[in-house]
């Protein structure tokens, strides 16, 4: 189907399209349609479609419903970005490939961004005229007129597709084909071929009739190939070779039952969950449905007579329940899956009968009779686990080991090694900390980096590294795995490494993490004969040594420096870097926002008052617009996004979220998908009309562990309430995406030619290498006559004493933690100049006295609050006359807190910084 160009008299068109609006290019050159994927669908009636675009490059297209009363093309672009931040109005071209898009009815009455006759010439949408497609014709019309009646109209959005597996795309080796004459297949009827990676494999089709007739929809999970042909799998098995430490199970905050990760047959990791038996089941299909209620991939357990089952029969660990006792399962195997024997032992559940375990014996029972009285009975379900970090699973290559003689460790007492990724690292046991015990979050706030510059509490990513640490450092010690203390406890979802590396390898001790007491256990230690164990450093009063880890450095120049991808903005070269709370900020004109980093990125949350009479008609994003025009009713998708509630404040159980009724269910008002795992028990109701949703402090139970005390914990979950019951003291949660500190962060000028060995600092100064540069630091007492903002900060007391030095500026996380090692209430160079004192207080006005860009911030956002009413830095004055009191910044306000503070205190010391001098060779 071909599209025809029709230009109305007022259409603003151009024959040659600007460089910014040429045909979009894929971000992944050479990506094929078979390697590509699109995001998941955003609603039940709007789907992404993967389409071969210009020159067969794969792109994703979606048709969005046209909102009413759009005014400019920017409004159209914003609709596309609501679906995905990289989406934009579609740019179509005169090519038969688009017949596929037309056949999907995506283009009819749909706005687009541009239409190309070729790679250069075409027309684009503008504020004056927007392009839409009707009856296979491209028409230009007025945007306000077109959107006045949006019925049956849409916006066609597009975005570049991305690889199904990032590692497979970046590492597409062309391997030499093996000599197949040197290989053979075991068994008859196999076809020997070389796979894509050059590895020889055998292929065969089988007839699986008669095997597990009740489970034909689950042939892959049950591996019918392995039952017919030993050592084989259904093609493309889930995650072959996945180890227990790399695996994880699902986790639903609203589910009182917990998944357990267990090694079973041949040490294969499997997820098990025991759920209560529903009453009045009729067939085994009902048992299967009951398992799928726990997870769409779950099915009745298939067990083996194997010693590994002690994890299920005798506890996890020593749990006072037996996961297998009085439980229906799907199959029980005596040995290695010999079909005749399994049939003989009645291992298969049929339509009327199921396998039932009691006292380590398997029985066949009638499903209807057994479920007539379900009290004390259960169903044991299982499912395949999945990788903790999918990208790490597909990147398990065997790296070449570096020549360690070319590297060294900066500082004394470090041990140089190389393990998982082939990079050299330095390890050291730290027995004592400068930070006192009340500094309870010393994993999250990196006590290692405070004591030993450039280091973090150790992350561990493979068995070789773990085995070395267990051998080298005997006894009990803490490592860098932790849960953010501002967020709920959980078993799988939010554990992370202090150094920011992916949590892709976690060998929990059997049954861990298990939160043995009612307080939160959010740090991890390792002990002789035990794997990873979670604990609470404060309530257990167990300060212990820690293992620190940092990158090694080359002995010879140039040193390795951090490399950035770049982009251009307004003819300036800018660096791209990962999105973190260190380089992003909330809207700078309000103290109400709290920044939260999660798997979804960095967002800001705030609470606003409810209107006098809350109704569904006024429960819209406009309630948040007084905070910021782009703020929306808040959505939540990850545990860590609830962090803005911690520590618990007076509004807990009084916060309304952005879930709105829609066709007897709830959807997020911002259009993002609903995560069902955050509903409280028995929520949501079938009828959603006239209801809103609040956050409630729900009490969750845990499996009983002997000697572990109270087995419960509180966490935020969603609960519905009638909209007319909303009280005046309740709050509405708003959300906005955090913005970068700088639209164009400059590319550092480091060249790797500075090291601790070829530079020097004046006497009394501390020399350190951070951010790929060597600097000198010194804490100086300020004379009393200079202990005021004008003399000490704005004139820069350090620069007065030495023209080469300035109050310290901070530009990377390693430097930040080093500065935290200095005593509290030490002034650094961040400040708001006096020229802004008559303006409304605004965080964007902070500057460094040395003139360097504010490309990093280390505010106290995550330790104990700054004030008794749970305020975090930066603090705002109540009125502009107090601006000066909040315009200077300390490294921290107290030794029991971590992060910068602008809370006003009298100061006596400043931290000075200068570039180290490079020693020139004669």
Q: How confident is the model at residue 107 (pLDDT cuts 50, 70, 90)?
A: confident
Q: How far apart are CA 275 and CA 299, in angstroms?
A: 12
The tens digit of pLDDT for each residue in 884-893 reads: 889 999 999 9
Q: What is the mean pLDDT of residues 263-282?
A: 87
Does residue 17 register a pLDDT over 80?
no
Average model confidence (pLDDT) across the chain? 81
Q: How far apart are CA 535 and CA 513, in angstroms?
A: 9
Q: Which two tokens stand for residue 562?
A: 């951090």
Q: What is the pLDDT of residue 882?
A: 86
Lowest mean pLDDT among 58-62, 329-333, 690-694, 767-771: 329-333
In terms of pLDDT, which residue wins out, 739 or 216?
Answer: 739
Q: How far apart are CA 67 and CA 35, in angstroms?
A: 34
Q: In this structure, are residues 404 and 418 in contact, taking their beta carbons and an 8 Å threshold?
A: yes
Q: How far apart are CA 7 and CA 9, in angstroms?
A: 6
Lowest mean pLDDT among 73-82, 219-228, 358-367: 219-228
Q: What is the mean pLDDT of residues 471-496?
A: 85
In terms of pLDDT, which residue wins out, 726 or 11?
Answer: 726
Q: What is the pLDDT of residue 849?
A: 97
Q: How confident is the model at residue 406 (pLDDT cuts 50, 70, 90)?
A: very high
Q: How far apart are CA 134 and CA 533, in angstroms?
A: 63
Residue found by looking up tokens 């196999």 in the block = 190
Closest C-alpha to 692, from 724, 737, 648, 729: 724
Q: How far apart are CA 468 and CA 472, in angstroms?
A: 6
Q: In this structure, are residues 805 and 764 in contact, taking their beta carbons and an 8 Å threshold?
A: no
Q: Which two tokens stand for residue 669?
A: 């008002």
Q: What is the pLDDT of residue 844?
A: 95
Does residue 330 register a pLDDT over 80?
yes
At residue 437, what are phi and psi to the nearest 5 degrees? -55, -35
Closest C-alpha to 393, from 242, 512, 534: 242
Let me know if 19 is exposed, middle or buried by CB neighbors in 10 A (0-12, 13-18, 19+). Answer: exposed
At residue 776, what are phi and psi to the nearest 5 degrees? -115, 140
Residue-by-residue DSSP string for 444-500: TTTHHHHHSTT-EEPP--SHHHHHHHHHHS-S-EEEEEE--SSS---SSSS-EETTS
**How many beta carbons lie within 10 A of that of residue 399, not counting itself?**
12
Q: How confident is the model at residue 607 (pLDDT cuts 50, 70, 90)?
A: very high
Q: In this structure, are residues 537 and 442 in contact, taking their beta carbons and an 8 Å threshold?
A: yes
Closest C-alpha to 89, from 63, 69, 70: 63
Q: In this structure, are residues 131 and 114 in contact, taking their beta carbons and an 8 Å threshold?
A: yes
Q: How far apart are CA 800 and CA 793, in angstroms?
A: 11
From the DSSP assignment, how many helices (H) and strands (E) are in the chain?
Answer: 15, 58
Lowest mean pLDDT among 369-373, 667-671, 676-680: 676-680
Q: Which two tokens stand for residue 517?
A: 């007491």
Q: How far apart are CA 789 and CA 890, in angstroms?
A: 12
The tens digit of pLDDT for each residue in 811-866 reads: 999 999 999 999 999 999 999 999 998 889 999 999 999 999 999 999 988 777 88
Q: What is the pLDDT of residue 198?
A: 62
Beta bridge partners of 466: none
Beta bridge partners of 701: 712
Does residue 541 register a pLDDT over 70?
no
End-to-end CA distance of the chain: 75
**Which domains are delineated in the chain?**
404-554 (3.10.100.10), 584-702+710-740 (3.10.100.10), 759-871+884-918 (3.10.100.10)
DSSP 629: T
Q: How far apart are CA 156 and CA 132, in angstroms?
A: 9
Does residue 343 register a pLDDT over 50?
no
Does residue 310 register a pLDDT over 80?
no
Q: How confident is the model at residue 434 (pLDDT cuts 50, 70, 90)?
A: low
User: Percent of the chain, pLDDT > 70?
Assistant: 80
Closest C-alpha to 149, from 125, 132, 127, 124: 132
User: Percent of the chain, pLDDT > 90?
Assistant: 39
Burial 635-670 (b: 16+ CB within 10 A, else e): bbbbbbbbbbbbeeeeebebbbbbbbbeeeebbbbe
Q: In this structure, are residues 148 and 141 in contact, taking their beta carbons and an 8 Å threshold?
A: no
Closest C-alpha to 505, from 459, 458, 468, 551: 459
Q: What is the pLDDT of residue 593?
A: 94
Residue found by looking up tokens 């008559």 in the block = 838
In terms of pLDDT, which residue wins out, 859 or 241?
Answer: 859
DSSP 655: E
Lowest mean pLDDT among 91-100, 450-459, 561-570, 587-596: 91-100
Q: How far apart are CA 921 and CA 563, in angstroms?
A: 27
Question: Highest mean pLDDT: which of 336-350, 669-683, 898-912?
Answer: 898-912
Q: How confident is the model at residue 220 (pLDDT cuts 50, 70, 90)?
A: very low
Does residue 809 register a pLDDT over 90?
yes
Torsion of CA 590, 594, 597, 598, to 10 degrees: -120
In terms of pLDDT, which residue wins out, 514 or 232?
Answer: 514
The tens digit of pLDDT for each residue in 146-181 reads: 888 888 889 999 888 888 877 666 655 444 567 777
Q: How confident is the model at residue 438 (pLDDT cuts 50, 70, 90)?
A: very low
Q: What is the pLDDT of residue 175?
A: 46
Close Cβ partners of 914 (under 8 Å, ≥ 6 residues apart)? 761, 765, 775, 776, 802, 804, 805, 806
Q: In this structure, are residues 162 and 27 in contact, taking their beta carbons and an 8 Å threshold?
A: yes
Does residue 278 register a pLDDT over 90?
yes
Closest C-alpha to 57, from 20, 97, 113: 97
Torsion of CA 802, 804, 805, 809, to 10 degrees: 160
Lowest mean pLDDT among 296-300, 333-337, 810-814: 333-337
The beta strands (E) that lie in 621-751 are given as: 632-633, 655-656, 659-662, 665-668, 691-701, 712-722, 731-737, 739-740
Q: What is the pLDDT of residue 190?
A: 79
The beta strands (E) that lie in 17-165 are given as: 36-37, 49-52, 58-65, 88-89, 91-93, 110-112, 114-116, 122-124, 130-134, 137-141, 154-160, 162-163
Does residue 283 register a pLDDT over 80?
yes
Lowest mean pLDDT among 173-182, 296-305, 342-351, 535-544: 342-351
Residue-by-residue DSSP string for 384-443: --EESSHHHHTT---PPPP-GGGEE-SSSS-EEEE-TTS-EEEEEEE---SS-TT-TTTT
User: What is the SS3 assignment for 73?
Assistant: helix
Burial 190-208 (b: 16+ CB within 10 A, else e): eeeebeeeeebbbeeeeeb
Q: What is the mean pLDDT of residues 578-602?
A: 93
Q: What is the pLDDT of residue 829?
A: 97
Q: How far apart are CA 508 and CA 510, in angstroms?
A: 6
Does residue 41 register a pLDDT over 80?
no
Closest C-alpha to 880, from 836, 815, 828: 836
Q: How confident is the model at residue 226 (pLDDT cuts 50, 70, 90)?
A: very low
Does residue 395 register a pLDDT over 80?
no
Residue found by looking up tokens 């085994």 in the block = 284
The alpha carbons of the chain give a radius of gyration, in whole angstroms, of 31
| CA–CA distances in Å: residue 148 to residues 46, 67, 394, 770 | 22, 9, 49, 56
Does residue 662 register a pLDDT over 60?
yes
The beta strands (E) that lie in 66-216 are given as: 88-89, 91-93, 110-112, 114-116, 122-124, 130-134, 137-141, 154-160, 162-163, 191-194, 200-203
User: What is the SS3 assignment for 90?
Assistant: coil
Q: How confident is the model at residue 1 (pLDDT cuts 50, 70, 90)?
A: very low
Q: In this structure, are residues 616 and 598 in contact, taking their beta carbons and an 8 Å threshold?
A: no
DSSP 320: S
Q: Which two tokens stand for residue 317?
A: 């660990």
């Amino acid at each position: 189907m071909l599209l025809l160009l029709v230009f109305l008299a007022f259409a603003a068109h151009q024959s040659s399209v600007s460089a910014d609006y040429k045909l979009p290019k894929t971000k992944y050159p050479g990506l094929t349609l078979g390697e590509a994927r699109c995001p998941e669908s955003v609603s039940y009636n709007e789907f992404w479609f993967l389409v071969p675009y210009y020159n067969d490059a794969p792109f994703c297209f979606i048709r969005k419903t046209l909102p009413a009363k759009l005014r400019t093309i920017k409004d159209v672009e914003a609709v596309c970005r609501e679906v995905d931040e990289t989406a934009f109005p579609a740019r179509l071209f005169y090519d038969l490939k688009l017949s596929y898009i037309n056949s999907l009815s995506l283009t009819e009455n749909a706005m687009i961004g541009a239409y190309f006759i070729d790679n250069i010439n075409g027309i684009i949408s503008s504020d004056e005229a927007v392009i839409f497609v009707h009856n296979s014709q491209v028409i230009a019309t007025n945007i306000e007129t077109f959107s006045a009646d949006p019925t049956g109209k849409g916006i066609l959005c597009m975005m570049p597709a991305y690889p199904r597996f990032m590692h497979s795309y970046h590492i597409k080796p062309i391997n030499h084909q093996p000599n197949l004459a040197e290989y053979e297949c075991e068994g008859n009827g196999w076809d020997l071929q070389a796979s894509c990676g050059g590895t020889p494999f055998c292929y065969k089709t089988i007839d699986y009739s008669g095997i597990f007739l009740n489970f034909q929809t689950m042939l892959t999970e049950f591996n019918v190939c392995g039952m017919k042909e030993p050592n084989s799998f259904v093609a493309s098995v889930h995650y072959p070779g996945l180890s227990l430490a790399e695996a994880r199970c699902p986790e639903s905050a609203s589910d009182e039952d917990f998944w357990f990760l267990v090694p079973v047959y041949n040490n294969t990791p499997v997820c098990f969950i025991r759920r209560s038996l529903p009453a009045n089941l009729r067939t085994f299909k009902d048992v299967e449905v009951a398992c799928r209620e726990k997870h769409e991939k779950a099915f009745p357990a298939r067990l083996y007579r194997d010693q590994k089952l002690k994890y299920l029969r005798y506890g996890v660990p020593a749990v006072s329940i037996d996961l297998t006792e009085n439980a229906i399962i799907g199959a029980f195997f005596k040995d290695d899956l010999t079909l005749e024997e399994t049939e003989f032992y009645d291992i298969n559940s049929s339509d009327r009968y199921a396998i039932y375990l009691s006292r380590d014996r398997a029985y066949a029972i009638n499903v209807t009779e057994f479920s007539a009285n379900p009290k004390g009975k259960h169903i044991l379900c299982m499912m395949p686990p999945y990788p903790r970090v999918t990208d790490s699973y597909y990147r398990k290559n065997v790296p070449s080991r570096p020549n360690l003689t070319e590297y060294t460790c900066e500082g004394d007492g470090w041990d140089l090694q190389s393990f998982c990724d082939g990079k050299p690292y330095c390890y050291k046991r730290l027995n004592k900390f400068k930070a006192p015990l009340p500094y309870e979050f010393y994993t999250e706030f990196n006590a290692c980096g405070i004591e030993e510059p450039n280091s973090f509490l150790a992350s561990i990513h493979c068995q070789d590294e773990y085995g070395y640490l267990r051998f080298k450092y005997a006894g009990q010690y803490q490592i860098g795995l932790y849960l953010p203390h501002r967020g709920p406890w959980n078993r799988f979802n939010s554990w992370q490494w202090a150094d920011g590396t992916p949590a892709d390898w976690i060998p929990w001790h059997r049954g861990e993490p298990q939160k043995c007491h009612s307080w939160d256990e959010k740090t991890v230690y390792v002990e002789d004969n035990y794997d990873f164990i979670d604990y609470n450093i404060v309530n257990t009063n167990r300060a212990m040594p820690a293992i620190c880890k940092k990158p090694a450095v080359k002995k010879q120049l140039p040193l390795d420096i951090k490399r950035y991808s770049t982009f251009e903005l307004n003819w300036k070269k800018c660096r791209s870097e990962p999105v973190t709370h260190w380089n992003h900020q909330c809207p700078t004109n309000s103290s109400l926002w709290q920044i939260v980093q999660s798997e979804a990125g960095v967002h800001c949350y705030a609470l606003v008052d409810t209107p006098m009479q809350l109704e569904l008609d006024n429960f819209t994003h406009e309630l948040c617009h007084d905070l910021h025009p782009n703020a929306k009713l808040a959505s939540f998708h990850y545990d860590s996004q609830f962090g803005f509630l911690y520590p618990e404040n007076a509004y807990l159980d009084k916060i309304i979220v952005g879930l709105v009724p829609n066709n007897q269910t709830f959807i997020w008002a911002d259009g993002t998908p609903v995560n069902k795992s955050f509903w409280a028990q028995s929520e949501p109701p079938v009828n959603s009309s006239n209801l809103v949703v609040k956050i409630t402090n729900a009490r969750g139970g845990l499996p009983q562990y002997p000697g572990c005390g109270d087995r419960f914990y509180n966490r935020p979950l969603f609960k519905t309430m009638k909209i007319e019951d909303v009280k005046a003291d309740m709050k509405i949660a708003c959300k906005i995406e955090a913005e970068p500190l700088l639209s164009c962060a400059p590319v550092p000028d480091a060249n790797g030619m500075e090291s601790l060995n070829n530079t020097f600092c004046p006497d009394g100064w501390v020399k350190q290498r951070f951010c790929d540069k060597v600097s000198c630091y010194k804490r100086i007492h300020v004379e009393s006559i200079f202990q005021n903002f004008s003399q000490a900060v704005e004139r820069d007391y350090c620069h007065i004493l030495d023209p080469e030095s300035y109050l310290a500026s901070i530009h990377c996380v390693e430097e930040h933690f080093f500065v935290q090692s200095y005593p509290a209430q030490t002034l650094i160079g961040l400040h708001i100049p006096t020229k802004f004192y008559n303006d409304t207080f605004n965080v964007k006005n902070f500057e460094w006295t040395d003139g360097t860009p504010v490309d990093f911030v280390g505010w106290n956002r995550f330790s104990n609050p700054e004030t008794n009413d749970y305020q975090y830095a930066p603090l705002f004055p109540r009125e502009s006359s107090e601006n000066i009191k909040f315009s200077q910044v300390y490294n921290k306000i107290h030794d029991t807190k971590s992060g910068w503070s602008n809370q006003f205190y009298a100061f006596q010391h400043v931290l000075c910084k200068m570039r180290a001098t490079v020693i020139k060779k004669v």
